[in-house]
Structure 1
């Protein structure tokens, strides 16, 4: 295989962009295991007190992820996130106002491999969420598993990430004054296995938990589609019914996380590696769907609102697809 090396003379700003993305990829796939190893390793060194003191803090702070976390604005506004935004680049597009007197559930589609668009748009200030939607605070849901990793749990909470269990998601939605925007990658880990370039499969047909939550809290629903999310990585072909897909689905059922075999480019060459491609991601925030509060919604009410949500998401995709390089005859495939 011929290796396509990066040119020696690369502008400094592009090197900084690559460095910002590289640290993010490491944070996503390698930082949690590193933190667990460090916590255990320190117990057997002269620095054992660090792990012991952290364990005391962890016990004291155990419920914080389920209570909105503890976002650190300084870290959300780091220049590193601006470099990461410009690497792809990533942009956030507003189509309608969101009244901060209400709470919202933003359904993010598709999940992609590493949800790059969701992280930059809703966990950092790089694309201007606060300016586009003044008065709203975003909370991106993440698998509860990651909040059990020492040190790492504190790092991800600094960016406004909270666990994806029901209790954690309900907490910001219970605020009567409004202003909470809970962002859910509805397809979750299983949808990552379908994140192939040029595909528009959305795992939504039987996903109604977030619909029920919206009705129980009277939170308005907002469909969000991120064009380009599936384009930044290649993935080993794994069609349904193959041994690879069967293995991935079994591991996902046991571990709670999916293991897509993805690849893209490297740091000093463009032929292979885990650094995403420089391809644009455009995240379109749709119009809000008004939801009336219903303490115990019926199956019919859930089905009706779920269908309306799918229709609105489909309309959002069709309305903007041509602007982002998608063929006009392409439609979303609800799985």
Structure 2
């Protein structure tokens, strides 16, 4: 009976698809389980004959503590590994360019929507699998991630290798403060709260009151670039949690206490298609829009901030409407700014 209910993967799945699944599996584990594993390993080693590893790492950590807030430590070789190409092809993920970005400028790229695990954001801006370096030569991308994860021993070093930096103000402005340009700070603007609205078929963007990234761009004279990732909300299902329900109330309370959201998501498994935490094989197309020129203004007024924020929302809405027909979205569907 159980076998009849579970849709098992056939035994003759081609090896390249097996490798794609393995690549995504390690990414999902890295996102959900690697940090706790690293923390456990750090403390476990202290009580074994290998205690010196944790002690030496602690010394290293002390001297290296500020590295995440100073641009991190990207390892280009790791970003070019074949494993990321297999991950790209699993969905697949594609990066679409609509305009040139001048490498003499710095940019703040708003990534929408957050989705559950930011699959498109990671693949496009933390690896070379979708050709970011070729599409935007001279630019270095930095994807922002919750500061909490940079407090995990060993794990912090791993995520910095991919160009991830903390999503606090100090870390975000460091690349934007560099003279000569060539830096693109990528912000999943909706952040953890938006992940709770990441349901298939929905186009809710948590942006109406999000103005911090706009002000940061103005203060540092960084051009704004809207980016919309079609399919980001489609790769996972999520337990219904509409606003006002007890589940959503609980999730909001936990987010307030821990700083991270806990969406109850599910999709498929490794060897079967009925349940599990592996994402569905559904395409993700990330469209990078035209840059919005921003003049440096160290002390913008509230009115100036509101005007640029409104213009950004209009540009993002236009970007969505211009491309939605290419990805099977009804012409009457529009972004819902929350």
What secondary structure is seen at the aligned counterpart in 2 of 1:303? helix
Write the distance in 2 (CA, Å) between the matches of 1:327 and 1:162.
36
1:248 maps to what in 2? 251
Aligned to 2:28: 25
1:125 matched residue in structure 2: 128
Tell me the distance in 2 between the aligned counterparts of 1:40 and 1:324.
Answer: 48
Q: Which residue of 1 aligns with 2:211?
A: 208
Aligned-pair Cα RMSD in Å: 0.5
Match of 2:45 in 1: 42
Shift of 1:158: 0.1
Partners in 1 of 2:276 and 2:325 — Cα distance? 30
2:200 to 189, 197, 201: 197
Query: Per-residue displacement from partner, 1:160-214 (whole Å, max 9, x unpaired)?
Result: 0000000000000001100000000000000000000000000000000000000
Query: Is the aligned partner of 1:180 residue 2:183?
Result: yes
Give the match for residue 228 of structure 1: 231
* 1:292 matches 2:295: yes
Equivalent residue number for residue 171 of structure 1: 174
Hey, what does 2:220 align to over in structure 1? 217
Three-state SS of the structure 1 residue aligned to 2:165 is strand
- TM-score by length of structure 1 reads 1.00
Distance of 1:141 and 1:59 partners within structure 2: 22
Q: What residue in structure 2 maps to residue 281 of structure 1?
A: 284
Aligned to 1:329: 332
The 1-side partners of 2:108 and 2:155 are apart by 26
> Partner residue of 1:318?
321
Residue 91 (structure 1) aligns with:
94
| Distance in structure 2 (CA, Å) of the matches to 1:250 and 1:203 | 18
Which residue of 2 is the match for residue 109 of structure 1? Answer: 112
TM-score by length of 2: 0.99
Q: Which runs of 4+ in 1 moved over 3 A?
A: none
- In the alignment, structure 1 segments of 5+ residues that lack a partner are none
- Whole-angstrom CA distance in 2 between matches of 1:202 and 1:325: 19
After superposition, give the CA deviation of every residue in 1:200-238 in whole Å (9 maximum; x if it has no partner). 000000000000000000000000000000000000000
**How far apart are residue 91 of structure 1 and its match?**
0.3
In the TM superposition, residue 307 of structure 1 has moved relative to its aligned partner by: 0.1
1:15 equivalent among 18, 21, 26: 18
Is the partner of 1:240 in helix, strand or coil?
coil
Secondary structure in structure 2 of the residue aligned to 1:238: coil
Which consecutive unaligned segments of at least 5 residues does structure 2 have?
Answer: none
In the TM superposition, residue 109 of structure 1 has moved relative to its aligned partner by 0.1
Q: Post-superposition shift, 1:147?
A: 0.1
Per the alignment, in what secondary structure is the counterpart of residue 287 of structure 2? strand
Aligned counterparts of 1:322 and 1:262: Cα–Cα separation in 2 = 27
* 1-structure distance, mates of 2:241, 2:72: 36
Shift of 1:316: 0.0
For residues 249-300 of structure 1, what are the alpha-carbon distances to aligned partners after superposition, in whole Å with 9 as ceiling and x for unaligned?
0000110000000000000100000000000000000000000000100000
Instruction: Provide the rounded CA distance (Å) in 1 between the counterparts of 2:212 and 2:171.
Output: 14
Deviation at 1:138, TM superposition (A): 0.1
Alignment partner for residue 269 of structure 2, among 261, 266, 269?
A: 266
Q: Could you tell me how far 1:325 is from its partner in structure 2?
A: 1.1
How many equivalent pairs are there? 335
Query: SS where residue 270 of structure 1 aligns?
Result: coil
Q: Distance in 2 between matches of 1:252 and 1:188?
A: 11
Q: CA offsets, 1:34-68, max 9 Å, x none?
A: 00000000000000000000000000100000000
Counterpart of 2:103 in structure 1 is: 100
Question: How far is 1:306 from its partner?
Answer: 0.1
Residue 242 of structure 2 is matched in structure 1 by 239
Tell me, in whole angstroms, the C-alpha distance in 2 between the residues paired with 1:70 and 1:264: 33
